[in-house]
Amino acid sequence: MTFFNAGVPLARALAERDYTTPTPVQAAVLSSDTDGRDILVSAQTGSGKTVAYGIAIAPTILGDKERMGQAGAPVALIIAPTRELALQVERELQWLYRYAEARIVACVGGMDARLERRKMSEGAHIIVGTPGRLRDHIERGGLVLQKLKAIVLDEADEMLDLGFREDLEFILEATPPERRTLLFSATMPRGIAALAKRYQRDAQRIDVAGGERGHADIDYRAVRVAPKEIEHATVNLLRYFEAQTAIVFCNTREAVRHLHATLVERGFSAVLLSGELSQHERNHSMQALRDGRASVCIATDVAARGIDLPNLGLVIHADLPHDAEALQHRSGRTGRAGRKGVSALLVPAMRARRAERLLAEAGVRAQWSGPPLAEEIRKRDQQRMLDDPLLKETPSEEDIALGQLLLGERTPEEIGAALVRLYRARLPAIEDVIDPGETRDARPPREGSRPDKPQRESGGKAPRAKSLGGPAIWFRLDIGRNKNADPKWLLPMLCRKGDITRDAIGAIRIFDHDTRIEIAASAAAGFAANMRRPGGDNIRVEQLDGESGAPKKGPPPKDHDKGPRPAHGPAKKFPPKGQKAKGGKSA
C-alpha cells in the first residue's frame, strides 16, 4: 500500500523522505471514505499522525493546485497542547509542504509575540500554535480566521488535561462554521466526546489505538531496584543500553535537578527539561539533543509532552508515572516510526504492586529483571569496542606510518592495552548495584488464592527461615507489614548496611508493626554497630533478649495499643445502674 490523496507536491516531499508505506493511522485517515469529512481519531503518539493530517487537509486547502499561491489570512490552523509539540508539527509541515510553497507560522507561549504578529501580517497559509497564545492573537486582532478551511486539534485530551477547554472553545467559536475539523486524541474521555459533538459535523470515528495501543515497537522492562539505588540503577541502564538518545522521567522539578547533577557528575552529556526553564533554555536543551551534543534528557511529564527526539532508543521511569496514560505518553517518546525502543520502569519492592497495575491498565507486558550488573555492562562494552567503526575503517597512509612508529617503541600488547584504556576513559563509571530478588507481585499467585490480594504467611513468619547451626542473636527492626516489609529487599539491605553475608542471617519474621531477624552470634556485634551508622535506610535496630523472634509477652508496644485493659484476669462486670450486684447493695 502506498500513500494516496497526497497530491503531486506532497508526494514528491514524501518520496524524498523515503515514505513509501503508510502507518495504520495514516492509512485510516487517508482512506477515500474520509474525503472532505470531519474526523475523530483515537491514536497514540508516535503513530505518524502529523503526516496523516498534513496530507488529509491538503485537498481542502490546496485543491487541485500544486502551489498555495499568495499568502494572506490562514486557511489551516493546527492546535497543539505544548510549545515543543507545536514547534515539532511546524517542522514536519515545513518539509511536507515544501514544494507546495506553503508559508507556515508558529505561535507559541514563551516566544516573541510581536514577531509572530509581524509574520502573520505578512501572510501565512498554515498557523500552528498553542491554545493560550492563539487566543491572545485572536483577541488582539493579529490572527484573523475568516478564511479558515480546516482546523486540527492534536492531542486534544492533553489540552483538556492542561486546562485549555475554555481557550479551545473560544478559538473554535471564532472559526467559520463551514470549516473542516479534524480531532486527534490518544484517549476518548467524556470531555472529548462533548467537544466533538458540539464542534464537528457528522464526524467519522477512527480508532487505531487498540491492540498493543501503537506501542508494538517498545520493549517494556520492569527493573527491580533497592530503594536507595534508583540513581545507580539509572546510571547502569544508560550504560547497558548506550542509546544514541535517552530520556529519564522524574515526577518533580527537584528530582530532575538532582538526577541531572548526578549524571553530569558521572560523565554523561545530559540536559534537563522542566517547567521552571525559560523557552530559550528549553530550546537550547532540545537543540543539544538533536545535534548530538547531549545524549540524555532528564524531564518532568509536563515538560516532555509532545517532544520528538531523534533516535530516542531508551525511556527510563526513575519515578513511576501517576497513571497508565502517563506511562503510555512517556513510553511513546521511543519506538516511533518503525524504530525499536526500550521503556524501563524502576520498581522498588514497595512499588511492585502499583507497577503491575500500571502495566495491566496500559495493556502491555513487561519483562521483570534486576538492574544491569557491572559484569554484564563490561561484556557489552567489550563487544561495542570490537564493533567500533574506527577499527573497521581503512587507515590512511599517515595512520599507518604513526602505527609503525608506535610498534617500534611498544609491543602490540602494550598498544592494545593503551587503546582499551583510552576507550574506557570516555565512558561513565559503572555503579555496583544489587538485584533485590523477585518481588511477590512479579510471581503468579498460588492456586486458589485471590490474584488481587497479597499472600500472607501465617504466624507472622516470612517465606525465608533457615537454621544457622550455631548460637544466634535476635534483633528487632521498626518496620513491618504496615510499611511493606519484605524479605526480598530486606535481605540485601541487611547484608549491605550491616556488612554481613547472607549465611549470617537466619530466620526473618515479619509482623504487622515490626520485623525480627536472627543473626549469627559471631557477626552480631559488627552487624549492630554497622546498622546504627547514619545514612542509607532509616530503619531503627535493637537487640532482643532471649532466643526467640516472637514478640515479647506482656503489654504490647505503644503502636499496638487499642485501649486500656486489666493486667490480670477477665474484665469485671458491673450491673446496670440502679440494680443490685450479686452479694452487694444497690448502687
**SS3 string of 211-242?**
CCCCCCCEEEEEEEECCCCHHHHHHHHHHHHC
CA 152, distance to chain mean position in Å, is 27
Judged against a pLDDT cut of 50, whether residue 488 lies above it is answered with yes
Closest by CA position to 347, among listed 469, 438, 217, 443: 438
Domains and CATH numbers, the chain: 7-207 (3.40.50.300), 218-376 (3.40.50.300), 459-551 (3.30.70.250)
Pairing type for strands 505-510 and 515-520 reads antiparallel
| Highest-confidence segment of 12-21, 557-566, 568-577 | 12-21
In the chain, the largest separation of any two C-alpha atoms, in whole Å, equals: 120
**Element counts in the chain: helices (H) and strands (E):** 22, 18
With beta carbons less than 8 A apart as the criterion, state whether 102 and 301 touch: no
| Highest-confidence segment of 161-170, 320-329, 417-426 | 161-170
Q: How far apart are CA 168 and CA 160, in angstroms?
A: 9
pLDDT in tens, 24-82: 888 888 887 888 899 999 876 667 889 999 999 999 999 888 899 999 999 999 999 88
With beta carbons less than 8 A apart as the criterion, state whether 257 and 272 touch: yes
Q: How far apart are CA 412 and CA 393, in angstroms?
A: 19
Q: What is the pLDDT of residue 571?
A: 43
Angle formed by the axes of helices 374-386 and 412-425, to 10°? Answer: 120
Backbone angles phi, psi at 4, to 5 degrees: -135, 175
With beta carbons less than 8 A apart as the criterion, state whether 487 and 517 touch: no
Pairing type for strands 180-185 and 312-317 reads unpaired
Classified as helix, coil or strand, 364 is coil
Backbone angles phi, psi at 400, to 5 degrees: -65, -40
Q: What is the pLDDT of residue 71?
A: 93
Residue 183 pairs in a beta bridge with 40, 153
Question: In the numeric block, which cell numbers belong to residue 57?
Answer: 487537509
| Highest-confidence segment of 111-125, 289-303, 473-487 | 111-125
List of residues 6+ apart from 35 with CB closer than 8 A: 5, 59
H/E element, 248: strand 245-249
Q: What is the pLDDT of residue 246?
A: 95
Q: How far apart are CA 62 and CA 170, in angstroms?
A: 26
- Percent helix, strand and coil across the chain, each to the nearest 5: 40, 15, 45
Per-residue pLDDT band for 144 (boundaries 50, 70, 90) equals very high
Hey, which bits of 130-242 come out as E strands? 150-153, 180-185, 204-207, 218-225
Closest by CA position to 109, among listed 85, 133, 88: 133
CB atoms within 10 A of CB 505: 24
Look at 337-346, 423-432, 446-455, 567-576 and tell me which has the smallest mean pLDDT: 446-455
Q: How far apart are CA 207 and CA 230, in angstroms?
A: 38
Question: In the numeric block, which cell numbers belong to residue 445?
Answer: 499467585
Question: In the numeric block, which cell numbers belong to residue 496?
Answer: 549491605
pTM for this predicted structure: 0.56
> According to DSSP H, which parts of 343-373 are helical?
352-362
CA 151, distance to chain mean position in Å, is 31
Closest by CA position to 174, among listed 137, 204, 202, 201: 137
